[in-house]
Structure 1
Amino acid sequence: MNNYDYIIIGAGASGLLLADAIGRDNYFSDKKVLLLDKDAKSVNDRTWCFWEKGKGQFESILNRTWDKIHFEGKQISKKTDIAPYQYKMIRGIDFYNHYLNRIAHYPNIEFRQEEVLDLSETLTSVSVKTTKGSYTGKYVFNSIFNYQMATQQSKYPVLQQHFIGWTIKTEHPVFVPDQVTYMDFSVPQKGNTRFMYVLPFSETTALIEYTLFSKDLLRKEEYENAIKNYISSKFTTESYEILDTEKGSIPMTCYDFRELHTNRVRYIGTAGGWAKPSTGYTLMSTSKKIPKLIALLKQGEPVKKLKLKNKFWYYDLLFLDVLYTDNAKGHQIFEDLFKARSPQLVFKFLDEETNIWEDFAYINSCPKVPFTKAFFRRLFKLFGSSNLHQIA
């Protein structure tokens, strides 16, 4: 029988974490679950990084940790110990292997490598058509994202955190193994927010990413030329081997993707708006939302909206308004912030754990004029919309 209680589309971070959470919980032992993905998840196609205090749930699959970060601006160079935090990295292949192995041991969960072609919803179920067959689920959790989901509206700005990265091996020692280059804004900005990101694995190997917070993607050659120029200027070496490559684009927006939910289809992960709007960091944000979703499932309300709009949502919205209006402002915002505040406060704020006084200290470090203008522009939009609604 091809009938299931839950069908999860996409075996990325959100899909695997949701399937594992269901499998671990005895409450769902009588629920039949299908996990679908077009790929076998056998390739190391991405890297997840995050910061954390102490040991966390991903400790057994960490590939590398760092105790220091380096921020480079136009006017400052700051190298700092980040204790009690550590900066942590997971390779995609290690994540996939770990969670697919766990899921294989749950008798009520089945993983199939099939591409989803179409969804058809009725009052009581959802039909899922794939390249190999059709399945019916009472509820579907869909993690497949495309940018049209966000760009079909104009109320909230949509930027992208987009990048290409090379893992290289140099002939001679050039990297500092215990220090992540979190942001290096010394590269030409060209009217955008552009920086280099370096994860060193040893004195001779590192992942180097050219990253932008901007609206539009670049041609592949532009990313690659920027990486080449950075390697030759910063590490004074022309002799290196490219061991691996990666690329990505993560949405940066405060748009409420949950508006796309239907009665029986719920979007999760990036497609559900779970990426942190101001940074694009998704893994830890997703891991915090999975328990809330599990609680809704137990309450019989799988498509009920998770509450995402807290004070940090509004802070993120203003930040994105500033970058969308003048994308060249990015390097100055981050430089002012790291010049005045510790990385520990930055991490705590981005983790949405600061109190109102820490919020004030953080915000007070940012350039006043662009954020004040953004605040009043946003206020005018809200006030204008209210007036139009009353007139209508």
Structure 2
Amino acid sequence: MDSSQIKHFDYIFTGTGLAALMTVYKMVLSGNFADKSILLLDENQKKTNDRTWCFWEKEESVWNSVISKKWDLALFANENFKRDLALKPYQYNQIRGLDFYNFVFDKLSKQSNIVFSQEKVTDINELETHVFIGTEENRYTCNYLFNSIYTKAFALTQSKYPVLQQHFVGWFVKTEAEIFNPKQATFMDFSVEQKGNTRFMYVLPTSKTEALVEYTLFSENLLSKEEYEKEIRLYLQKLGAQQYEISEKEQGSIPMTCYPFWEKNTKRVLNIGTAGGWTKASTGYTFKNSDKKSTQLVAFLQDKNLKMSSFHKKNRFWFYDLLLLDILYRHNELGSAIFSSLFRKGNPALIFKFLDEETNLAEDFKVILKCPKIPFIKALFRVIFA
């Protein structure tokens, strides 16, 4: 192909998932990138409601207008106890994928410097002065590339860092009987049979008869779809739902690992989202971490001495996550006991603050000391001497 036909951009985003869209949206809000040409490449048009994101927040954020439901209360349960959690000063928020996509793309479509193209990326090649990107239809170059296309092999072909999955199937149901409490989300219900794993139900009710009911595991291997759905049916029966309709289904698998994806960052290529290690390793939560990281990235891009490989900074929470994943990888059946020990008597607001990586050292120890001691001490020695 004639090089004159290759289109050049200042920035290209390969993949338009949560991290990419948050980052570009905030670049627009900042007003500091209007003179930069930006291309978004993804084979998916983002026209379907393919996922649901939840996060806890104290104040309103830039995403407030697309939050479809907020809860002030949550439930934690296992086979032995139930605890109602008052979340204040936090609220637990839900955003439907399609609402988020429409909100962001509506803003981006009005920017003359931003282009979205539905194309499958086939090749990325970094050169000294630019990055070359090939798709099935076109060729592009850019000064800097932000990649959110996840390569499973990076984490799965190494043995230094354990790799689990947060995998789930969810049903949006409408029941005949009024069985849900729309004021309370079920954060984790470990009363389901564990079968040697970390398994729980997650329920987001929007009315007394409507909810997203999700069967979730933190484990190494996925199940057959029938097994997830069988457990959802059993759980709905236990709640008293004899008759119900399923309006939508969702399923997903999110990698849970402390593998240092950021070490793949180079002079001109920055991996973002799950591909860049932006997912919270110990929980699989993505929205809040991506919100923070995207804000940091937009500020980082305005540094005149830009060095992409220096963007990521490892902190002590990465180490805490590593200990938990080491335990769950070796003894997956301990998940219920660990999370139950945290939530049985722990302060919910402090736990959320800890999971958001906003606690100080003294607060860290208040949370950590609620956990079973022996598994964590063993994991500590394994990690130190590995």
Q: Normalized against structure 1, the TM-score is what?
A: 0.94
Of 316, 323, 327 in structure 2, the residue corresponding to residue 311 of structure 1 is 316
Check if 1:52 corresponds to 2:57: yes
Q: How far 1:146 sits from its partner (Å)?
A: 3.0
- Counterpart Cα distance in 2 of 1:376 and 1:225: 40
* 1:285-304 alignment, distance < 5 Å: 285-299=289-303, 300-301=305-306, 303-304=308-309
1:210-238 CA deviation, whole Å, 9 max, x = no partner?
A: 000011111111111111111112x2222
Q: Write the letter of the residue equivalent to 1:312.
A: F
In structure 2, C-alpha distance between the alignment counterparts of 1:228 and 1:323, rounded to whole Å: 27
Q: Distance in 1 between matches of 2:296 and 2:87?
A: 29
Partner of 2:240: 236
Q: 1:126 & 1:150 partners in 2: Cα distance?
A: 24
The aligned amino acid for 1:248 is G
Residue 274 of structure 1 pairs with residue 268 of structure 2: no
2:253 alignment partner, SS class: strand
CA distance in 2: counterparts of 1:198 and 1:366, whole angstroms: 24
Aligned to 1:136: 141
Quote the RMSD (CA, aligned, Å).
1.3
Residue 152 of structure 1 deviates from its aligned partner by 2.3
Output the amino acid matched with 2:257: T
Please name the residue that 2:8 is paired with: 3
Counterpart residue type for residue 308 of structure 1: K
C-alpha separation in 2, matches of 1:44 and 1:314: 34
* 1:191 corresponds to: 196
Equivalent residue pairs, number: 380
Partners of 1:37 and 1:97 in 2: CA distance: 15
Q: CA–CA distance in 1 between the matches of 2:154 and 2:306? A: 23
Is the Cα–Cα contact under 8 Å of residues 9 and 35 in structure 1 kept in the other structure? yes
Aligned equivalents of 1:146 and 1:187: distance in 2?
A: 33
1:123 alignment counterpart = 128
Q: Is residue 2:66 matched to residue 1:67? A: no
1:341 aligns with 2:346: yes
Match of 2:255 among 247, 251, 258: 251
Q: What is the Cα deviation at residue 297 of structure 1? A: 1.8
2:362 is equivalent to residue 357 of structure 1: yes
1:204 aligned residue: 209
Match for 1:280: what amino acid? G
- From 143, 159, 167, the equivalent of 1:154 is 159
Structure 2 SS opposite 1:27: coil
Unaligned runs of 5+ in 2: none
| Equivalent pair of 1:6/1:141 in contact (CA under 8 Å) | yes
CA gap of 1:108–1:40, structure 2 versus 1, over 3 A, is: same
The SS at the match of 2:70 is strand
SS at match of 1:298: coil
Asked if residue 169 in structure 1 is aligned to residue 174 in structure 2, the reply is yes
Distance in 2 (alpha carbons) for counterparts of 1:126 and 1:308? 24
The alignment partner of 2:308 has SS state of: coil
Change (3 A) 1:209 1:186: same
Runs of 4+ in 1 over 6 A off after TM superposition: none
Identity of aligned residues (%): 51
Q: Check whether the contact 2:267–2:309 (CA below 8 A) recurs between aligned residues.
A: no
Unaligned runs of at least 5 residues, structure 1: 382-392
Which of residues 12, 17, 21 is equivalent to 1:12? 17
SS at match of 1:28: coil
Offset of residue 380 of structure 1: 1.4
Determine if contact 2:167/2:252 at 8 Å carries over to the other structure.
Answer: yes
Give the stretch that moved more between structures: 256-265 or 201-210: 256-265
Conservation of the 8 A alpha-carbon contact between 2:266 and 2:309: no
SS of aligned partner of 2:28: helix
One-letter code aligned to 1:246: E
Contact 2:267/2:307 (CA < 8 Å) preserved in 1? no
Q: What TM-score does the superposition give when structure 2 sets the normalisation length? A: 0.96
Instruction: Quote the offset at 1:120 in angstroms.
Output: 2.2
Question: CA shift at 1:310, angstroms?
Answer: 1.3
Which digits, 9 at most, give the CA deviation of each residue in 1:1-32, with x for residues without a partner?
61111100111111111212222333322211
Post-superposition offset of 1:302: 5.1
Distance 1:146 1:199 in 2: 31
- The correspondence of residues 28-107 of structure 1 with structure 2, limited to 5 A, is 28-107=33-112
**Distance in 2 (alpha carbons) for counterparts of 1:57 and 1:350:** 21
Cα deviation for residue 262 of structure 1 reads: 2.8
